[in-house]
């Protein structure tokens, strides 16, 4: 009910700047010049990093050269390995996407345009640091040498799937690679990473934790619980927020991007924060290295926002042309991470277009060979899967009576329906 001369209240509903068919203009984005951002000491007070939460740490300039205090000064061999791993991740994505369209798996999620946000951190961390990824960090597994065949077995949920078909495709788990099981529930990995990091500190270990979510997941309660615990107990953990502008069909404004940056959340919790050009592999590497060194020195957690762009759909179940302009991908001012690192190596005289084309062909063949090997173990709906009884196993040390009865009934009914079926 209106009172006196007071104005009527109005509700603000965030609306993206561009919709399908709109002309795209990113001129209002504040893109910092490469090399101009200061690099504080790794053990500085958290407040010294807070101006960087509103800036954008960049290393690669418009001339494709590395510049400024954040330049990690990586040697050419390391740069080529980073480039190859990102290109392999992209080749893997392309092949698995086609496999889904061919009915070989039910679901897939590509990370096109975001490869630097997983590959560069994986290379900056120690191999035994524990990572708690989201569902778009396949580049970490590839960087850590996890076999492509095993990844494809899991995607196809076939008889060689180490997770026995119990996880959605692309929700990997790899203990030997210190890769925590991916969960489809948003942001659950954040408090898990903090708890693991706290345990590492309690034991006096030297291993730290790193975890990833998309910007939309910062609206989840688990994000804030994790930040509180990490701040209070000074947990040795790196929080990565991959701001790729879109959470399925909802743009980043619904998670608060209209008000401030996602890195600015670090300010409110009193921890270190960095906002990084997520399409600059050198900047991402340098920021992760800085945060890892800080955590190992008992100086506390760091929140890193990777400012990037999701070049393709959220998943194979999504059609981005229904909610965003097709021009966005081409007009994105920070370019493509693979191409930027390639051009940097060319500028150094350490790479060429011919070498890059040859590498791409080699990687396509590599992924094709791994796919054919995995397909020997079966694909979706072709009957080559784990024995039926395994769905009742691996939860209890001894199967309770009611599950044992259910198992026997299920197997009995299956034999009646398919007399030719034999349990292996």
Average pLDDT over residues 348-358: 98
The pLDDT of residue 381 is 81
291 and 405 both lie in a single domain: no
271 and 401 both lie in a single domain: no
Tell me if 40 is assigned to some domain.
Answer: no
Whole-Å CA distances, 292 to 193, 206, 212, 272, 422? 14, 11, 14, 12, 52
Asked if pLDDT for residue 238 goes beyond 60, the answer is: yes
Asked if pLDDT for residue 97 goes beyond 70, the answer is: yes
Tell me if 381 is assigned to some domain.
Answer: no
How high does pLDDT run on average in the chain?
95
Q: What residues have CB less than 8 Å from 158, skipping those under 6 apart?
A: 374, 377, 378, 379, 384, 385
Other C-beta atoms lying within 10 Å of the C-beta of residue 148: 21
Average pLDDT over residues 382-393: 81
Whole-Å CA distances, 407 to 163, 386, 410, 413? 19, 15, 5, 10
Question: Confidence band (pLDDT; 50, 70, 90) for 2?
Answer: low
Tell me if 14 is assigned to some domain.
Answer: no
Asked if pLDDT for residue 385 goes beyond 90, the answer is: no
Domain tally, the chain: 2
Residue scoring higher pLDDT (280 or 395): 280
Asked if pLDDT for residue 193 goes beyond 60, the answer is: yes
Average pLDDT over residues 93-119: 97
Q: What residues have CB less than 8 Å from 63, skipping those under 6 apart?
A: 347
336 and 393 both lie in a single domain: no
- Per-residue pLDDT reduced to its tens digit, 290-300: 999 999 999 99
The pLDDT of residue 231 is 98
199 and 302 both lie in a single domain: yes
299 and 164 both lie in a single domain: yes
Rounded to whole angstroms, the Cα distance separating 141 from 394 reads 24
Range of the domain at 392: 388-417
Whole-Å CA distances, 331 to 5, 70, 215, 248, 309? 47, 26, 21, 20, 11
Q: What is the pTM of this model?
A: 0.95
Tell me if 32 is assigned to some domain.
Answer: no
Q: In CATH, what number is assigned to the domain containing residue 199?
A: 3.40.50.970
Whole-Å CA distances, 420 to 298, 387, 415? 62, 15, 8
% the chain with pLDDT above 70: 99
Question: Confidence band (pLDDT; 50, 70, 90) for 182?
Answer: very high
208 and 180 both lie in a single domain: yes
404 and 306 both lie in a single domain: no
For residue 382 the two structure tokens come to: 């072709």
For tokens 């191409």, the residue is 339
3-state secondary structure the chain: CCCCCCCCCCCCCCCCCCCCCCCCCCCCCCCCCCCCCCCCCCCCCHHHHHHHHCCCECCECCCCCECCCCCCCCCHHHHHHHHHHHHHHHHHHHHHHHHHHCCCCCCCCCCCCCCHHHHHHHHHCCCCCEEECCCCCHHHHHHCCCCHHHHHHHHHCCCCCCCCCCCCCCCCCEHHHCECCCCCCCCCHHHHHHHHHHHHHHHCCCCCEEEEEEHHHHHCHHHHHHHHHHHHHCCCEEEEEEECCEECCEEHHHHCCCCCCCCCHHHHHCCEEEEEECCCHHHHHHHHHHHHHHHHCCCCCEEEEEECCCCCCCCCCCCHHHCCCCHHHHHCCCCCHHHHHHHHHHHCCCCCHHHHHHHHHHHHHHHHHHHHHHHCCCCCCCCCCCCHHHHHCCCCCCCCHHHHHHHHHHHHHHHHHCCCCCCC
By mean pLDDT, which of 119-123, 259-263, 403-407 is the weakest?
403-407
Rounded to whole angstroms, the Cα distance separating 308 from 332 reads 9
Rounded to whole angstroms, the Cα distance separating 235 from 208 reads 9
Average pLDDT over residues 410-421: 83
Average pLDDT over residues 346-366: 98
In 3D space, the residue among 134, 97, 156 whose CA is nearest the CA of residue 214 turns out to be 134
The pLDDT of residue 190 is 98
Average pLDDT over residues 393-422: 87
Asked if pLDDT for residue 331 goes beyond 80, the answer is: yes
Tell me if 1 is assigned to some domain.
Answer: no
% the chain with pLDDT above 90: 89
Rounded to whole angstroms, the Cα distance separating 304 from 322 reads 30
Backbone angles phi, psi at 44, to 5 degrees: -70, 170
Helix 281-296 to helix 337-347 angle (10° resolution) is: 100
Asked if pLDDT for residue 361 goes beyond 80, the answer is: yes
Tell me if 28 is assigned to some domain.
Answer: no
155 and 253 both lie in a single domain: yes
Question: Confidence band (pLDDT; 50, 70, 90) for 383?
Answer: confident
Residues forming the active site = 310, 314, 323
Tell me if 27 is assigned to some domain.
Answer: no
Average pLDDT over residues 343-368: 98
Average pLDDT over residues 393-398: 89
263 and 313 both lie in a single domain: yes
Tell me if 21 is assigned to some domain.
Answer: no
Average pLDDT over residues 54-68: 98
326 and 362 both lie in a single domain: yes
95 and 192 both lie in a single domain: yes
Rounded to whole angstroms, the Cα distance separating 367 from 141 reads 15
71 and 164 both lie in a single domain: yes
């Amino acid at each position: 009910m209106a009172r006196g001369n007071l104005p009527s209240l109005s509700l603000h509903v965030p609306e993206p700047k561009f919709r399908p068919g709109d002309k795209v203009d990113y001129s209002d984005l504040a893109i910092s010049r490469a090399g101009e951002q200061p690099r504080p000491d790794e053990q500085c007070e958290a407040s010294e990093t807070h101006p960087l939460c509103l800036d954008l740490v960049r290393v690669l300039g418009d001339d494709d050269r590395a510049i400024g205090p954040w330049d990690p000064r990586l040697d050419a061999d390391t740069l080529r390995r980073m480039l190859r791993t990102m290109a392999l991740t992209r080749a893997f994505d392309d092949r698995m996407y086609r496999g889904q369209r061919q009915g070989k798996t039910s679901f897939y999620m590509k990370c096109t345009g975001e490869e630097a946000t997983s590959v560069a951190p994986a290379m900056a961390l120690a191999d035994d640091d524990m990572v708690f990824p989201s569902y778009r960090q396949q580049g970490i597994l590839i960087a850590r040498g996890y076999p492509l065949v095993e990844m494809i077995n899991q995607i196809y949920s076939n008889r060689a799937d180490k997770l026995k078909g119990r996880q959605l495709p692309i929700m990997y788990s790899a203990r030997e690679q210190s890769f925590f099981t991916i969960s489809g529930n948003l942001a659950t990995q954040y408090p898990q990473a903090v708890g693991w990091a706290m345990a590492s500190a309690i034991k006096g270990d030297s291993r730290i934790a790193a975890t990833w979510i998309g910007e939309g997941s910062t609206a989840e309660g688990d994000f804030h619980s994790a930040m509180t615990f990490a701040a209070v107990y000074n947990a040795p953990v790196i929080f990565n927020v991959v701001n790729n502008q879109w959470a399925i069909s909802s743009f980043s404004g619904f998670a608060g991007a209209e008000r401030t940056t996602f890195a600015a959340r670090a300010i409110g919790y009193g921890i270190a924060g960095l906002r990084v050009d997520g399409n600059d592999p050198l900047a991402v590497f340098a920021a992760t290295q800085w945060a890892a060194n800080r955590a190992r020195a008992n100086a506390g957690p760091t929140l890193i926002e990777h400012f990037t762009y999701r070049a393709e759909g959220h998943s194979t179940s999504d059609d981005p042309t229904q909610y965003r302009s097709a021009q966005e991908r081409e007009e994105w001012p920070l370019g493509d991470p693979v191409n930027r690192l390639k051009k940097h190596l060319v500028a150094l005289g350490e790479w060429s277009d011919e070498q890059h084309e040859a590498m791409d062909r080699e990687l396509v063949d590599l992924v094709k060979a791994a796919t054919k090997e995995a397909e020997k173990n079966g694909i979706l709906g072709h009957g080559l899967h784990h024995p039926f009884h395994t769905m009742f196993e691996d939860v209890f040390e001894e199967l309770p009576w009611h599950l044992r009865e259910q198992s026997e009934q299920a197997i009995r009914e299956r034999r009646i329906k398919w007399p030719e079926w034999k349990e292996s």
